[in-house]
Amino acid sequence: MNDLIIRQALIFTPEGRREGDVRIKDGVITEIGDVSSSGEEEIDAKGRWLWPGIIDAHVHFREPGVTHKEDWRSGSRAAVSGGVTTVFDMPNTVPPMTTVERLEEKRRLADEKALCNFGLFFGAGPDNLEEILKAEGVPGLKIFMADSTGDLLVDKRQDLEKIFANYDGQISVHAENQVRMDQREEMFAHREDPAVHSEIRDDLMAAEAVALAGTLALINERRLHILHMSTRAELEALEAIREEIIARDSKARVTAEVCPHHLFMDVSAYTRWGTRVQMNPPLRSEEDRRAMWRALNHGDVDMIATDHAPHRPDEKAQPYRKAPSGVPGVETSLPLMLDASFRGMCEYDDVVEWMAHKPAEIYALEKRGAIREGYAADLVLIDHRMSRTVTDDEQRSRCGWTPWAGRDLVGWPVLTVVNGHVVYRRDDRGPGQITTDEAVGTEVAVVGS
C-alpha cells in the first residue's frame, strides 16, 4: 500500500525526544531513527516536531440523526485539521446508541465517511443491560447521570448499581446529580441570564455524582473514567475515592479528563459570549479553573478531551433554557495546548501524554497513541513557532463557529497522517488543505474486547 518517510523531525516518543526519520509502510511505523533507504514519498520535516496523532476520546459527531450540526465527514475533517487522528464518539445521537443494531449502523456510517480513526461509545439506559452486555469492540460504556443533550439518562441509584454490578468493561460517566439539578432549577427559575447555568448545575452537583460513581466502581472493582471534570469539589471526591481504593486494596481504577473550555475559560466568559458558552458541565469560577490546571500538571487529572459538541449559531443564539448546551473543540484543542506550553503553563512533553499516550492507555487501544515501531502511523507534524489567530471562517466543523475565535495561538499542526495516509497539510498561513477524499479512518481495536 503506502511507503512514506518523514525526514529529520524532532520525534516525541514515550521514552523522550529524539531527532531522526520515521518510516511508514502499509499504515504502520516500521522504523524510527536514521532511515538509509528511500521511500516512495518523502517529507522533509526539518525544524518540525513529530507527535503521535491526538486522540480525542470525547466528541459528539451527531450522525446518525442530527447531521445539520455535524456528520462523520465534517467532524473528521475538523479533527484532522486540528491534528486529531482518533476520536471516540458519544452515544447521544438520534437514535441513541443503546442497542447493538444501532451501533452497527453507526459503525457503517463512520466507516464510510471518516477521515480519522474512531471508537464508538455504547449508551447506557435504565433498562438496556442485555444490550450493553452484548456490545463488542467499544472503548466503553457512557452513562449520563443527569440530563444533557439527547435523551440518555440513568439517574436512579438502583439502575446505576445494576450496571456497575454487571458490566466489567470501561465505564465513562457524565457525573452530575439529577436530583440536585432539579431542585436548583426550581430555585433559580426566576433568572434568565445565561450565567445562571453555572449556578443551577453547581460544583456540588458534580461532586456528588463523582462520589457515587466512584463508590460503585470501588465496590465492584471497575474501571471508571470521569468525563469533563471541572471543579475543586470533584477533585476532592476523586482523591477520596482513590485513597479508599488503595486502603481497601480494590482493583478499581478511576481516571479523569478535563476539557480545554474548563482550562481556558471561566464564568466571566458569559459576559461576552452568553449562551454560546453554555455547556454541561458549565463554566466554573476562576479558582476552579486554576485548580484544574494544578491537578493536570500534578497528575491528578489524567488526560484532555474536548467534549466537541457542535450546535448551529442560530440554535445557540436562543435565550437561556432554549439554547442547547455545548461548544465545538476538536480542531482547536491542540493549538490551545501548544500555546499554553509556549506560554509556560505546562510542558510540551506532558501535552503529548495528556492528548495521546494517556487516552490510548486508559481506553486500552491496541498499538495506537504513541510513536513506536509496530504502532499505527497516526501522526501529527507540528510547527511550534507558527503564530495564527483562530477564526470562525477557518473552522471545518459544520457548526461554523468556535468559542476561541480571536485568540492568537503559537503552535499549530501542519501535517496530519492517519494510518499512513497524509490527510491534511498546512503549507502557508491559510487554513490548510484536506488532501484526500478517501475515508482512511478505521475503527480502533481495544485490547481484550
Residues that bind Zn ion (CB under 5 A): 307
Place of cell 433554557: 321
65 versus 431: smaller Cβ distance to ligand DOR: 65
- The listed partner (Zn ion, ligand DOR, none) that binds 325, CB under 5 to 8 Å by sort, is ligand DOR
85 versus 149: smaller Cβ distance to ligand DOR: 149
- The listed partner (Zn ion, ligand DOR, none) that binds 74, CB under 5 to 8 Å by sort, is none
Q: Which of 6, 10, 5 is nearest to 384 (CA)?
A: 10
279 versus 296: smaller Cβ distance to ligand DOR: 279
Shortest spacing between CB 244 and Zn ion, in angstroms:
27
- The listed partner (Zn ion, ligand DOR, none) that binds 341, CB under 5 to 8 Å by sort, is none
74 versus 280: smaller Cβ distance to Zn ion: 280
324 versus 369: smaller Cβ distance to ligand DOR: 324
Say if residues 53 and 85 touch (Cβ distance below 8 Å): yes
Chain residues that interact with ligand DOR, rule: CB under 6 A: 60, 92, 148-149, 174, 279-280, 309, 324-326
The residue of the chain with the least Cβ separation from ligand DOR equals: 326
Give the amino acid at 232: R
Shortest spacing between CB 60 and ligand DOR, in angstroms:
4
- Rounded to 5°, angle at Cα 391 from 61 and 356: 50
Shortest spacing between CB 148 and ligand DOR, in angstroms:
3
Q: Which three cell numbers stand for residue 188?
A: 433559580
Shortest spacing between CB 390 and Zn ion, in angstroms:
21
96 versus 441: smaller Cβ distance to ligand DOR: 96
Shortest spacing between CB 75 and ligand DOR, in angstroms:
12
* Cα(293)–Cα(314) distance, integer angstroms: 33
123 versus 432: smaller Cβ distance to ligand DOR: 123
* Cα(172)–Cα(105) distance, integer angstroms: 22
324 versus 413: smaller Cβ distance to ligand DOR: 324
Of the residues 71, 307, 339, 383, only one is catalytic, namely 307
Shortest spacing between CB 309 and ligand DOR, in angstroms:
4
The residue of the chain with the least Cβ separation from Zn ion equals: 307
- Taking each helix axis as running N to C, give the angle between helix 178-187 and helix 203-220, from 0 to 180 degrees, rounded to the nearest 10: 170
Shortest spacing between CB 441 and ligand DOR, in angstroms:
21
3-state secondary structure the chain: CCEEEEEEEEEEECCEEEEEEEEEECCEEEEEECCCCCCCEEEECCCCEEEECEEEEEECCCCCCCCCCCCHHHHHHHHHHCCEEEEEECCCCCCCCCCHHHHHHHHHHHHHHCCCEEEECEECCCCCHHHHHHCCCCCCEEEECCCCCCCCCCCCHHHHHHHHHHCCCEEEEECCCHHHHHHHHHHCCCCCCCCHHHHHCCHHHHHHHHHHHHHHHHHHCCEEEECCCCCHHHHHHHHHHHHHHHHCCCCCEEEEEECHHHHHCCHHHHHHHHHHHCCCCCCCCHHHHHHHHHHHHHCCCCEECCCECCCCHHHHCCCCCCCCCCCCCCCCHHHHHHHHHHCCCCCHHHHHHHHHHHHHHHCCECCCCCCCCCCECCEEEEEEEEEEECCCCCCCCCCCCCCCCCCEEEEEEEEEEECCEEEEECCCCCCCEECCCCCCCCECCECCC
- The listed partner (ligand DOR, Zn ion, none) that binds 279, CB under 5 to 8 Å by sort, is ligand DOR
Shortest spacing between CB 309 and Zn ion, in angstroms:
6
Is 378 annotated as catalytic?
no
- The listed partner (ligand DOR, Zn ion, none) that binds 288, CB under 5 to 8 Å by sort, is none
- The listed partner (ligand DOR, Zn ion, none) that binds 98, CB under 5 to 8 Å by sort, is none
Residues with a known catalytic role: 307
